[in-house]
């Protein structure tokens, strides 16, 4: 069975500071990993995804994530937070069966 754990349901950072959102996964097969962002009263949209190949994945809006198999992690980072980054972020895993398991989400607050 697959699962996703997102550490920290709420994270606050100052504008211009590093953003680090944590995601650990469990999977018995090589995983496919995703980060989605949800702005208030909207659906989720894809930030980035890891399938195979390069372990450092770059996404939209300056976000990136690194797949670390030994740590079973796929943490999301951004060097400098912007006010517009305030949203809820979801990590998701798929084994390739086209079912996606989502984490419980991390709400990011950006302080001026």
Partner 1 sequence: NAGVTQTPKFRILKIGQSMTLQCAQDMNHNYMYWYRQDPGMGLKLIYYSVGAGITDKGEVPNGYNVSRSTTEDFPLRLELAAPSQTSVYFCASSYSSPTPGELFFGEGSRLTVL
Binding residues for partner 1, per CB under 8 A?
Answer: 9, 32, 34, 36, 41-46, 49, 51-52, 90, 94, 96, 98-100, 102-105
- Least distance between partner 1 and beta carbon 68 (Å): 20
Cβ proximity to partner 1: between 33 and 81 the closer is 33
Q: Which of 13, 20, 60 is nearest to 37 (CA)?
A: 60
Going by the DSSP 8-state scheme, the letter that residue 108 receives in this structure is E
CA atoms within 13 A on the CB side of 45: 9
DSSP string for 76-90: EEESS--GGG-EEEE
Cβ proximity to partner 1: between 40 and 112 the closer is 40
Beta bridge partners of residue 64, listed in sequence order: 58, 77
- Least distance between partner 1 and beta carbon 111 (Å): 22
Cβ proximity to partner 1: between 72 and 100 the closer is 100
- Least distance between partner 1 and beta carbon 21 (Å): 14
Cβ proximity to partner 1: between 19 and 37 the closer is 37
The dihedrals phi and psi of 83, each to the nearest 5 degrees, come to -55, -35
Going by the DSSP 8-state scheme, the letter that residue 36 receives in this structure is E
């Amino acid at each position: 069975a697959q699962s996703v754990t997102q550490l920290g349901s709420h994270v606050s950072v100052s504008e211009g500071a590093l953003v680090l959102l944590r995601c650990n996964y469990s999977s018995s097969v090589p995983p496919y990993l995703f980060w989605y962002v949800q702005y208030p009263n909207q659906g989720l949209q894809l930030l980035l995804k890891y399938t195979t190949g390069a372990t450092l994945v770059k996404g939209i809006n300056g976000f990136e994530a690194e797949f670390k198999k030994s740590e079973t992690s796929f943490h999301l980072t951004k060097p400098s937070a912007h006010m517009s980054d305030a949203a809820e972020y979801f990590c998701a895993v798929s084994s390739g069966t086209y079912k996606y398991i989502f984490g419980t989400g991390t709400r990011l607050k950006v302080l001026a």
